[in-house]
């Protein structure tokens, strides 16, 4: 719309500044992008270097010949395959759990009237505001009491339930027209049928946003896995890579190769579902 | 989005079904039985999970904070001992200072994110999607991977950061093991990894500013920069406020980067450890759960006070439309 103002004020100066300012904008944005990407570039280059090249003084940017063997060495040097599977199980369980349970709870908070709803809502809200460290010691003892320490179940369990996810889904359901519920209810559907058959399909975007956010957050979660599981074969990659840094401190190329293999799944997921994820972030941000 | 539909509701919905529905399905209290039963059933999994794994743990941790943990398990009540210790503990004082430095540095990502979002928000700019993806990459990347590469970048002997500084004649150091630089070096990584997230929030905020404002301003001859200062900046203050609150809350709980980049054996640990790192060290490594619980409550109170303060002063600078 502001562009329509340009022809109204015919002057070479305006058009000129607009073109040169767009060059300036791109220059600034590219400079920023270079700073953002440089560490990733260095990571990739290091993963292809020999050990000697990775610690050369002055630093070499490119490897003389790419050492792709570093990537296969990851599987020999670290319990990578097992930790990858642990991470996948933890992430899938948390994501599926949150998408289903948070949608259900979010729908109930958005549309159903029942006694105690206000109190429950305040309880959920308080969970959202309390720093998670406050739960940690006691959660550890609960896992211990149920004999779940050093299990993949313990990794996934607390993250299946989310106050944030419930609020996000509540927001999405509140945006849907209430006439849809009413019409279905008049036709004799019970609230579960309305939720499952009508509202859930309409909230696909919300569920995708929550799903991608949960997946990335689970995949990268560090503190909880460090607390409950200390056996390397029960750790996810986040904790595994962290604790293995000490043991393989000097072998940067192999560690970088492992980091890349461990980061790529979420980067791919983000690139594919970017639109849903960013919408989810924006809507949770604005509607808080 | 649903507002046009909602606005049309009284006219569009025939008046007949509504009273009928109330008479048939609602109990004397005005509630529908189906609503009540299904309301509880749909909320049950998350409510039970949160009660068992968040709310109960928070209550239990409150109790822990008044106990001393024996080396063979078992917690004995020790009154306010832990809190007395917290007040006197120089390590907690240091970790608080480090946490504040880290938080202050992370807040720098806000003006950066606003500037980037403003550049991206230009109509007809090419490659917005590509830029947004690139700036967002650190947000989705495994913290362990991020820390690893930054440790290499910051390395005192063969790190490229020092090599670059050397080109302009600035002497480098071992950034992460030098106790004067460690927390600042970590802070820079924090800015780098949060700027993309904040930028997305600001971009969403800027896109909701009506285009007419800019139109009117450019007819009046205001430059783009002036428009940014006089229109964009004031109108995104609600987003700025929200981002500031979230950034402060998250930064006060900083753990991952410190644990991953400095770690227990570093000579710089004391000058880089944050409150949550101290909590982890006391509660998990040293099994002093009672003391750790007290630290966690000090953190909660701190977060509440700072957040309340932010809400208090927001009236002075946040413009709600």
Average pLDDT, chain B: 87
Do B271 and B241 share a structural domain?
Answer: yes
* Model pLDDT, residue A6: 41
Contacts of A22 in chain B (CB under 8 A): 122, 125
- Contact (CB<8Å) A220/B303: no
| Residue ranges of domains in chain A | 2-69, 71-287
Confidence of residue B12 (pLDDT cuts 50, 70, 90): very low
Per the model's pLDDT, the better-predicted residue between B28 and A232 turns out to be A232
Residue B175 resides in a domain: yes
* Model pLDDT, residue A153: 95
DSSP label at A6?
H
Confidence of residue B23 (pLDDT cuts 50, 70, 90): very low
**Mean pLDDT of the region A70-81:** 88
Do B37 and B92 share a structural domain?
Answer: no
Q: Is the pLDDT of residue A285 over 60?
A: no
Contact present, B255 and B280 (Cβ < 8 Å): yes
Smallest CA–CA distance, residue B239 to chain A, in Å, is 7
Do B111 and B22 share a structural domain?
Answer: no
Do B58 and B97 share a structural domain?
Answer: no
* Pick from A27, A64, A35: nearest CA to B153: A35
Q: Does B299 touch chain A (CB under 8 A)?
A: yes
Confidence of residue A144 (pLDDT cuts 50, 70, 90): very high
CA atoms of B146 and A241, how far apart (whole Å): 11
DSSP label at B75?
E
**Cβ-count burial of B19 within 10 angstroms (0-12 exposed, 13-18 middle, 19+ buried)?**
exposed
Confidence of residue B6 (pLDDT cuts 50, 70, 90): very low
Contacts of A168 in chain B (CB under 8 A): none
Based on its alpha-carbon atoms, the radius of gyration of chain A, rounded to whole angstroms, reads 25
Tokens standing for B100? Answer: 């504040």
* Model pLDDT, residue B319: 85
Per-residue three-class SS string for B217-264 = HHHCCCCHHHHHHHHHHHHCHHHHHHHHHHHHHHHHCCCHHHHHHCCC
The B residues from 56 to 85 touching A (CB cutoff 8 Å) are: 56-58, 60-61, 64
Contact present, A155 and A229 (Cβ < 8 Å): yes
Residue B44 resides in a domain: yes
The interface predicted TM-score (ipTM) is 0.86
Confidence of residue B321 (pLDDT cuts 50, 70, 90): low
**Mean pLDDT of the region A112-138:** 89
CA distances from B225 to A48, B118, B214, B217 (A): 44, 10, 11, 11
Q: Is the pLDDT of residue A2 over 50?
A: no
Do B191 and B50 share a structural domain?
Answer: no
Residue B78 resides in a domain: no
Residue B72 resides in a domain: no
CATH of the domain at B262: 1.10.3720.10
Q: What is the tally of structural domains in chain B?
A: 2
Q: Is the pLDDT of residue A154 over 80?
A: yes
Q: A71-287, what's its fold?
A: MetI-like fold (1.10.3720)
Q: Is the pLDDT of residue B7 over 60?
A: no
CA atoms of A265 and B141, how far apart (whole Å): 9
Do B311 and B235 share a structural domain?
Answer: yes
* Model pLDDT, residue B298: 94
The share of chain B scoring above pLDDT 90, in percent, equals 69
- Contact (CB<8Å) A134/B61: yes
Do B226 and B156 share a structural domain?
Answer: yes
CA atoms of B321 and B318, how far apart (whole Å): 10
Tokens standing for A277? Answer: 């994820």
**Mean pLDDT of the region B15-32:** 50
Contact present, B78 and B67 (Cβ < 8 Å): yes
Tokens standing for A184? Answer: 């279905």
**Mean pLDDT of the region B38-50:** 95
Contact present, A127 and B46 (Cβ < 8 Å): no
Do B201 and B105 share a structural domain?
Answer: yes
Q: Is the pLDDT of residue B21 over 80?
A: no
Confidence of residue A12 (pLDDT cuts 50, 70, 90): very low
Smallest CA–CA distance, residue B79 to chain A, in Å, is 19
* Model pLDDT, residue A278: 85
Q: Is the pLDDT of residue A284 over 90?
A: no
Smallest CA–CA distance, residue B164 to chain A, in Å, is 10
Residue B76 resides in a domain: no
Residue B267 resides in a domain: yes
Contacts of B158 in chain A (CB under 8 A): 54-57, 59
Tokens standing for B11? Answer: 């006219």
Query: Tokens 């966690």 map to which residue?
Result: B296
- Residue A87 φ then ψ, to 5°: -65, -40
The B residues from 94 to 123 touching A (CB cutoff 8 Å) are: 116, 119-120, 122-123
Q: Residue B224 belongs to what domain range? A: 83-317
* Model pLDDT, residue B2: 35
Smallest CA–CA distance, residue B133 to chain A, in Å, is 7
Confidence of residue A246 (pLDDT cuts 50, 70, 90): low
Q: Is the pLDDT of residue B28 over 60?
A: no
Do B154 and B53 share a structural domain?
Answer: no
Contact present, A91 and A218 (Cβ < 8 Å): yes
Q: Is the pLDDT of residue A16 over 60?
A: no
Q: Is the pLDDT of residue A173 over 80?
A: yes
Confidence of residue B73 (pLDDT cuts 50, 70, 90): low
**Cβ-count burial of B14 within 10 angstroms (0-12 exposed, 13-18 middle, 19+ buried)?**
exposed
* Model pLDDT, residue A142: 94
Residue B5 resides in a domain: no
Q: Is the pLDDT of residue A9 over 50?
A: no
- Contact (CB<8Å) A191/B42: yes
Contact present, B154 and B185 (Cβ < 8 Å): yes
Average pLDDT, chain A: 87
**Mean pLDDT of the region A85-111:** 96
Q: Is the pLDDT of residue B228 over 70?
A: yes
């Amino acid at each position: 719309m502001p562009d329509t103002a340009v022809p109204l004020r015919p002057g070479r100066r305006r058009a000129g500044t607009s073109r040169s300012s767009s060059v300036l904008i791109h220059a600034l944005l590219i400079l920023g992008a270079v700073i953002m990407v440089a560490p990733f570039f260095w990571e990739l280059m290091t993963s292809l270097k020999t050990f000697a090249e990775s610690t050369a003084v002055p630093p070499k940017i490119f490897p003389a010949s790419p050492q792709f063997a570093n990537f296969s060495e990851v599987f020999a040097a670290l319990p990578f395959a097992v930790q990858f599977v642990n991470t996948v199980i933890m992430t899938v369980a948390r994501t599926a759990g949150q998408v289903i349970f948070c949608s259900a709870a979010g729908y109930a908070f958005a549309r159903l009237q029942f006694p105690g709803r206000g109190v429950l809502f305040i309880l959920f809200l308080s969970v959202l505001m309390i720093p998670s460290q406050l739960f940690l010691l006691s959660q550890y003892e609960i896992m211990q009491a149920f004999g779940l320490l050093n299990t993949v179940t313990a990794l996934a369990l607390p993250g299946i339930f989310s106050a944030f996810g419930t609020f996000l889904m509540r927001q999405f359901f509140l945006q849907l027209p209430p006439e849809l519920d009413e019409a279905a209810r008049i036709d004799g559907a019970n609230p579960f049928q309305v939720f499952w058959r009508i509202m859930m399909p309409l909230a696909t975007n919300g569920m995708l946003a929550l799903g991608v956010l949960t997946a990335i957050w689970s995949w990268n979660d560090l503190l909880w896995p460090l607390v409950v599981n200390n056996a390397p074969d029960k750790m996810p990659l986040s904790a595994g890579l962290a604790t293995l840094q000490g043991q393989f401190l000097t072998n940067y190329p192999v560690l970088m190769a492992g980091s890349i293999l461990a980061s790529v799944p979420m980067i791919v997921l983000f690139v594919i579902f970017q639109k849903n994820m960013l919408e989810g972030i924006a809507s949770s941000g604005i509607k808080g | 989005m649903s507002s046009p539909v909602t606005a049309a509701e009284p006219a569009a919905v025939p008046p007949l079904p509504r009273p009928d529905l109330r008479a048939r399905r609602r109990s004397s209290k005005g509630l529908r039985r189906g609503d009540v039963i299904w309301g509880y059933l749909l909320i049950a999994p998350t409510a039970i999970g949160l009660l068992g794994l968040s709310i109960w743990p928070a209550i239990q941790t409150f109790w822990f904070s008044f106990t001393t943990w024996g080396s063979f398990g078992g917690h004995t009540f020790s009154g306010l001992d832990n809190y007395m210790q917290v007040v006197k503990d120089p390590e907690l004082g240091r970790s608080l200072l480090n946490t504040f430095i880290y938080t202050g540095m992370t807040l720098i990502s806000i003006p950066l994110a606003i500037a980037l979002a403003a550049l991206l928000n230009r109509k007809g700019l090419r490659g917005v999607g590509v830029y947004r993806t690139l700036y967002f990459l650190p947000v989705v990347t495994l913290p362990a991977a991020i820390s690893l590469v930054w440790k290499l970048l910051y390395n005192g002997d063969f790190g490229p950061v020092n090599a670059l500084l050397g080109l302009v004649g600035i002497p480098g150091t071992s950034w992460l093991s030098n106790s004067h630089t460690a927390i600042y070096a970590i802070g820079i990584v924090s800015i780098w990894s949060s700027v993309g997230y904040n930028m997305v929030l600001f971009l969403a905020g800027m896109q909701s500013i009506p285009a007419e404002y800019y139109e009117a301003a450019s007819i009046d001859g205001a430059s783009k920069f002036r428009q940014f200062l006089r229109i964009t900046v004031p109108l995104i203050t609600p987003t700025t406020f929200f981002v500031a609150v979230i950034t402060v809350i998250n930064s006060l709980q900083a753990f991952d980067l410190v644990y991953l980049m400095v770690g227990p054996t570093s000579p710089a640990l004391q000058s880089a450890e944050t409150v949550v790192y101290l909590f982890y060290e006391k509660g998990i490594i040293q099994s002093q759960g009672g003391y750790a619980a007290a630290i966690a409550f000090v953190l909660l109170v701190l977060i509440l006070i700072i957040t309340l303060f932010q809400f208090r002063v927001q009236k002075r600078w946040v413009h709600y439309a």
